[in-house]
Amino acid sequence: MMVMEYAGGGDLYHLVKKSGHLTEDETKYIFKNIALGVAHCHCRSVLHRDIKLDNILLDGEGGVKICDFGVSRLVTLNELIQEQCGTPAYLAPEMSCNSKYHGFYVDIWSLGILLYVML
């Protein structure tokens, strides 16, 4: 099933590029919503694996949407994965060196990179 929704605020990449960086208050609000969205996915055993500025859409009314689940997958608790995918600048070290990794931790690593770039 494909669901389409209009995100009139563009993506987070263009917002950060336009302003250079976001204020701490803007970052806190947006990042909190992204973290809640990723937590929602993880609670349902969905691993995104490509969290980056380009994949965060803004709806123009303060809403944040996570998009592009093209390399996502379902995982079980404590499952080890060895597939390398995603955007190189946001990859966790264990993904970069082709070793096995616990899936949810690579999304958390990407969130850290995302937070750094936003500020």
Active site residues: 50
Q: Per the domain annotation, does 4 fall within a domain?
A: no
CB 38 within 8 A of CB 111: yes
Q: Per the domain annotation, does 1 fall within a domain?
A: no
Domain carrying residue 39: 12-118
C-alpha distance from residue 106 to each of 27, 34, 70 (Å): 21, 15, 16
Q: Per the domain annotation, does 110 fall within a domain?
A: yes
Please tell me which residue, 62 or 16, carries the higher pLDDT value: 16
Q: Per the domain annotation, does 3 fall within a domain?
A: no
Q: How many domains does the chain have?
A: 1
- Per-residue pLDDT, averaged over 15-38, amounts to 95
Q: Per the domain annotation, does 72 fall within a domain?
A: yes
Residue 3's pLDDT is what? 65
Q: Per the domain annotation, does 2 fall within a domain?
A: no
As a whole-number percent, the residues of the chain with pLDDT over 90 amount to 66
Q: pLDDT band at residue 45, thresholds of 50, 70 and 90?
A: very high
- For residue 10, the Cα-to-chain-centroid distance in whole angstroms is 16
Residue 17 pLDDT greater than 70, yes or no: yes
Lowest mean pLDDT among 1-15, 47-61, 64-78: 1-15
Residue 80 pLDDT greater than 60, yes or no: yes
Q: State the CATH number of the domain containing residue 72.
A: 1.10.510.10
Residue 75 pLDDT greater than 70, yes or no: yes
Q: pLDDT band at residue 1, thresholds of 50, 70 and 90?
A: low
Q: Per the domain annotation, does 44 fall within a domain?
A: yes
Residue 14's pLDDT is what? 95
- Rounded CA-CA distance 53/115 in Å is 10
